[in-house]
């Protein structure tokens, strides 16, 4: 926060009264146009309200609200299990809220009971701006997972480095043609940009090695139903021993299924690297980039408990490193 910037400065910049700014900060009754003006003024002035004192006065409920985009993936189930293991030890319970639709998001914004009845909020793989807007309105300790913001605690994996590891594994197999299977994040507006970071790391290392690669080498995929099997089949038929980076193991499984239908053998006719190290990958011989999923969940839960006990604790950013897991597919 800029030195000397006060709530009065925000009110003057927004052209509203001090009481209006206070209601915005406390999530009171303010029309959306006025709220937007106040938020823009706060951003312009870099005004960051201090809610630490207010947090100390809030009655504890021994609940931590965990918000996820959807919970059908193995990644999220493993994360949630590790949350519970840590929270249970401290007599806390987790309350899961999946944002599987815009309707669910609107309900969460309008009905504050879930948030108000929780001591902390963990947002897992969610876009900060697309969910809560100006997040200080939460007035709760907030832990971001697989996302980062300078003002909020976070636990995340170095996905850029993970993409580089994937490129290195494929280069070691002397591939000449490289492809990536990437999700269109616009299809799920609440997912944070981890996929983009993985793709950037992948492209970065290939370009450092003077490998020509463009967006034409990306197979865009729906996050929920997977990539186009026709496009994958075209790649496997047209190119000799292509290197494919599937940005999730789930996408890699679809590649393996298409390859099987064509009689193509991974590690011989093409090379494939996934991301996540899901439980089935060893059985299928899938080379992948392993995330410390359980550690991510545990560290986030520990951080939430620490911030509940000491809201004035400085912001923590915990970066965890992925590892390359080499199997028969690459």
**pTM: predicted TM-score of the whole model, two decimal places:** 0.77
Look at 69-83, 125-139, 269-283 and tell me which has the smallest mean pLDDT: 125-139
Average pLDDT, the chain: 84
- Domains annotated for the chain, with CATH where assigned, are 7-45 (no CATH), 57-157+294-321 (3.40.50.2300), 159-291 (3.40.50.2300)
What are the φ/ψ torsions at residue 175 (nearest 5 degrees)?
-70, 150
Confidence of residue 45 (pLDDT cuts 50, 70, 90): confident
pLDDT band at 210 (very low <50, low <70, confident <90, very high): very high
Per-residue pLDDT at 180 exceeds 80: yes
Measured CA to CA, the distance from residue 153 to residue 158 in angstroms comes to: 16
Higher pLDDT: 183 or 31? It is 31
136, two tokens: 């200080």
What does the pLDDT look like over 215-229, one tens digit per residue? 889 888 765 555 678
Which residues does 210 contact at the CB level (< 8 Å), separation at least 6?
A: none
pLDDT at 211 over 70: yes
CA gap 161, 141 in Å, rounded: 29
List Cβ neighbours of 68 (8 Å cut-off, separation of 6 or more). Answer: 76, 79, 80, 96, 97, 98, 99, 124, 125, 126
Q: Count other Cβ atoms within 10 Å, centred on residue 120.
A: 27
Helices 159-171 and 194-208: crossing angle in degrees, nearest 10, is 40
Helix axes 7-14, 32-45, angle to 10 degrees: 120
Q: Is the pLDDT of residue 53 over 80?
A: no
């Amino acid at each position: 926060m800029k030195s000397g910037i006060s709530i009065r400065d925000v009110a003057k910049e927004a052209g509203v009264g001090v009481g209006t700014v206070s209601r915005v900060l406390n999530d009171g009754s303010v029309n959306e146009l006025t709220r937007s003006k106040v938020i823009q003024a706060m951003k312009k002035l870099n005004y960051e309200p201090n809610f630490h004192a207010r947090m100390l006065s809030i009655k504890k409920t021994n609940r931590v609200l965990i918000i996820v985009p959807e919970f059908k993936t193995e990644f999220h189930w493993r994360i949630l299990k590790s949350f519970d293991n840590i929270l249970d030890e401290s007599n806390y319970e987790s309350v899961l809220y999946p944002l599987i639709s815009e309707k669910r998001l609107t309900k969460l914004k309008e009905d504050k009971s879930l948030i108000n009845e929780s001591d902390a909020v963990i947002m897992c793989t969610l876009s900060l701006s697309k969910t809560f807007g100006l997040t200080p309105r939460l007035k709760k300790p907030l832990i971001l997972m697989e996302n980062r913001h300078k003002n909020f605690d976070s636990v995340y994996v170095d996905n850029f480095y993970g993409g580089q590891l994937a490129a290195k594994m494929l280069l070691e197999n002397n591939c000449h043609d490289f492809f990536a299977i990437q999700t269109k994040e616009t299809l799920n507006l609440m997912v944070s940009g981890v996929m983009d970071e993985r793709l950037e790391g992948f492209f970065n290392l290939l370009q450092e090695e003077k490998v020509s690669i463009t967006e034409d080498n990306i197979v865009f995929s729906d996050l929920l139903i997977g990539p186009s099997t026709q496009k994958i089949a075209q790649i496997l038929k047209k190119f000799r021993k292509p290197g494919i980076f599937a940005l999730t193991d789930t996408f890699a499984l679809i590649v393996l299924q298409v390859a099987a239908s064509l009689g193509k053998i991974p590690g011989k006719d093409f090379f494939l690297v996934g991301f996540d190290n899901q439980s089935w990958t060893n059985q299928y011989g899938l080379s992948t980039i392993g995330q410390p999923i359980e550690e991510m969940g545990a560290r986030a839960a520990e951080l939430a408990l620490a911030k509940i006990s000491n809201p004035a604790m400085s912001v923590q950013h915990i970066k965890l490193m992925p590892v390359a897991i080499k199997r028969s597919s690459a």
